[in-house]
Every structure is written in C-alpha cells, then in structure tokens.
Amino acid sequence: MTDRIDLSNLPSYRQPRRSVFSARKFALMASVVAGLGAAVYGFSPSTSPADLFSSPAHAQVNNEVRKVERPIGFADIVERVKPSVISVKVNIKEKTASNDDGDDSSSPFQPGSPMERFFRRFGGQDGFPPGLKGGGRGRVVQGQGSGFFISADGFAVTNNHVVDGADKVEVTTDDGKTYTAKVIGTDQRTDLALIKVEGSSNFPFAKLADSKPRIGDWVLAVGNPFGLGGTVTAGIVSASGRDIGNGPYDDFIQIDAPVNKGNSGGPAFDTNGEVMGVNTAIYSPSGGSVGIAFSIPASTVKSVVAQLKDKGSVSRGWIGVQIQPVTSDIADSLGMKKAEGALVAEPQANGPAAKAGIESGDVITSVNGETVKDARELARTIGGMAPGATVKLNVLHKGQDKVINLTLGQLPNTVEAKADNDNDSGKGASKGTDVPKLGMTVAPANSVAGAGKEGVVVTEVDPKSAAAERGFKEGDVILEVGGKSVATAGEVRDAITAARADNKNSVLMRVKSGGQSRFVAVPLAKG
C-alpha cells in the first residue's frame, strides 16, 4: 500500500482554492506525467509517482531497451574470415616499343583489351597504375587487386582482369607474408580466375555459400582498396540478377557496401562468414564508390572454378541460335498470352538447333521442364550445362507447342559475326514502293546490288514514322512479315492486311541488318 503525502505539514502550504488545484486536476496532471514516463520508457506507471523511475519493472525493461539500442557489430565475423583474403599484385612486361616521338604516356595495351580496361579502371593517370617502372621498351607495369583462398593448399579466386596477361603474380596474406602464385586458369566471360599460391599447405580459406542471398541481407566486402591493405566495408544486398551489359551470362548481385579500386577479386561475405559473391565491377562516374557495386554469385564461382581446376578452361553448352527477348508487342504478334521465353532470330547453320528442326520465329519456352523467363536466362541455363548433354526444349512453333530433344554442342571460344558490307546503304536501289501506314519504302532484294535474293530492301525511312521508332534504317532487308516470306512490296502489304484482319495490334517482321537477323514488332495503324 502506498503512503499518502500530507501537504498540510509543509511551511508554505496553503489550503488551495477549489478553482485552482482541484483533486480532479491534480489527478489529471499526475496521469499526464505518468503517461509521459510510459511513452519514454516503454512501461505502465505504478500507482505512486515516487515509484516512477525506481520500480523493479522499470529496471528490467530499461535493461532490455539498452540491449536493443546497443550497436550490432561484425567484429567476430571479420576476425574469422579476414585471414582468408589476400592482396594480389601483378607485373606485366610491356612487349611493344615506345612511340617514335619518345612519348611514353600512352597505354601499353591494345585499346579495349582486358588489361587496358583494368588499368583504366584501377590504375593511375593515362591508364598506368601507381608503381609504373621503367620507360620505353621493356618497362614493367604493376597492378593490384584482391582475392581469397578457397582451400588450405593454396588455391585462390580473383578476377580474370586482375591477372590477365600477367608475367608475375604475387600475393600478400593478412599477416603480411608474400608468396608467389601461378595462374591455373581464367574465364573471360565471367571475369573469374583461379590461381595457386605456393609456400604452405595450411592457408586459412573461405567457404562459398550454398544458398542465394536475399535482397536486404547484410554483406561484408573485404579487399585491398587503393593498395591500402586489408579493409572491411559493410552494406546490404541491393538487388540480384543484374545485367550490366558485360555479356549473355550476366547475373550479378548488386551491393551497396563500399567497393573501390583494388577491391576487384575480393569476396563479399554474408553474416554466416561464407562468400556470397566475388566483387568484380562498380558503377561510378568518379571511379570511387557511390554505393553501386556488382558481385559474381557464389553458384557461378563454384561451377567455373571446378572446371578451371580440372582443365584450366571452361566449356559451355551451346545450341547455336541467335536469340532475342520476347517483348509485349512480339508476344501479341505471335498470339502469346505472356511476354516470356526466348525468340529465335536465326539458327546457326549446322548448329545443334538447326539440325533438330528449330527455325526462325520459334520461341523456346522451357528447358528440361523449367520455364525460360527471357533470352538471358536461356543463355545462362544452356551455358551452365556440359557439352554433349541431351536437353528437352519446349518450343512454340507457328502457334503450336512442340517438344524438341537435342544434344548440346560446345560454345566456341570466339564468335565472329560477318557484316554484309555490300548492303550497308542499299546502293543501286530503285526508289522503291511505299508501304502505307509504316513510313518506309521497299524494293525487291534481287533488284538491289549486294542485297541478296531474298526479301525486300528498305530504301527510305520517314524519320517520324513507326518504322523509324523501331530502328529500321535504309539498307535493312525484310525477310518475313507475319510469319510469311516476302519478296515484293505487294506481299508486305498483303501480310499487313492479314494481320489487321486478325485484329493484331502489331505485325512481326524478321529483319536482316549488318549480317544479323532480328524480329521487330511494328505497331499497326488502324483504318
């Protein structure tokens, strides 16, 4: 029971008038104070104001609040994983002569080559990294990146662009020791490399994660930014499945942990201390971190590293088709309910797909029963399989579903696309015949020098037309309209009329441009 406070014993006490401090107003003020205490400290007040800040209940809850407010750090994780991370230093001996005028400021690598891009991104002024030695013929260029051990016997992962073309590779471990390493194998398409560090059989190593990270998960990036030595930064997974235009196998994890020059090849750890990805690229106007970095997923690293360790290179499955995404307009033209799958623009002659009966205009919708969402997913799925494997493809062929079984070939190391230089601008073309509603004129291909014998050549495009908006240009060859081969302007008009009669909003055209085929869905004007 709570004691009552007798105010009449106080010297300054005067009996209050009822209009100033009534019992009702005093109770109201007490409840307001108690309410503030409850709001601030998160508990219900006791019956006595004197117990407000000293009750056992308050002490217990206040301790819980302090536990929640205490910052959660990553020191335990970092202490465990940081020894597995290494600094990678490479020496590349220039094999080209200096300029005749004695100016050695130009980059020693071919423009656009992996090493030229690497040093432009991670080097110093004019594409040379800090530490450039010598001058003129025979000078040595140095660069630095990051990596991490994946086994106790010295196998380590880094980026291809870090070690590509290196004459000498050295690594420095977290304890400051330096070792020589040799390159076991590289894969340019995924920008991964496997190196072997000699000198010990008991290196601390990291484990590649088995599960995919979720958007919002914590991530720790460990590496060697700006050559400073082992550095740790933290952030979250911002996105997954990112395509940054690096190639058909792009499937990057986007993170916002600060990643800077020299972090390439370093690991991105999850809170279990496992490697969720390998840092490979950043998006930055200035060259420094702006919170957008990209990591190669651990699942990709596992499959690539296994092949590099086994044979020093990567073999990928191949079906031999040019593919493109199925847009909503293309889906409408083909009568598809959803814009998904991969549209075959052209099967390669004598390739596995052509031999199995796949044709231009077919849409590959699934592989071994797994739905294909888009063209990139098909490329990644087929590329992840071994050459010689048999796959089952579900294909939409001329509006009908069919199943095709084929044996995968091996993806060629280089793919050459020969442009049809004789067909750049429709030289020798007649003025052509207008195709109404589309804003272009066409002429039979056999009437235009160098255009071939099939299709019609675009001889003129209205820059404000629907055709121009879809990328048509003078010299393009239209091979098919609405799934039918065309050889004259009249056949183009007939195909368009048939599409309108079928209440199509657009008509699908197969177009050859610069030696490559693609499908274009052109919207149809009404009337």
Rg (CA), the chain: 34
User: Does the annotation mark 313 as catalytic?
Assistant: no
Options 164, 187, 191, 332, the catalytic residue: 191
Number of H helices, E strands in the chain: 11, 27
H/E run at residue 28: helix 23-41
Q: Could you tell me which residues come within 8 angstroms of residue 108 by beta carbon, excluding any fewer than 6 positions away? A: 92, 94, 96, 139, 141
Q: Amino acid identity, residue 18?
A: R
Q: Is 264 a catalytic residue?
A: yes
Widest CA span of the chain, in angstroms? Answer: 119
The residues, any chain, with a CB within 8 Å of residue 170's CB and separated by 6 or more, are: 88, 89, 90, 91, 178, 179, 180, 181
- How far from 276 is each of 15, 212, 230, 270, 478, CA to CA, in Å? 74, 7, 18, 6, 46
Which of the following is catalytic: 87, 264, 333, 513? Answer: 264
Please identify which residue in the block is written with the tokens 């050549």: 457
Contact yes or no for 156/86 (Cβ under 8 A): yes
Residue 434: count other Cβ atoms within 10 Å of its Cβ: 15
Distance CA(376)–CA(216), nearest Å, equals 24
Catalytic-role residue among 58, 87, 161, 329: 161
108 close to 138: Cβ distance less than 8 angstroms? no
- Residue 161 known to be catalytic: yes
What positions carry a catalytic annotation? 161, 191, 264
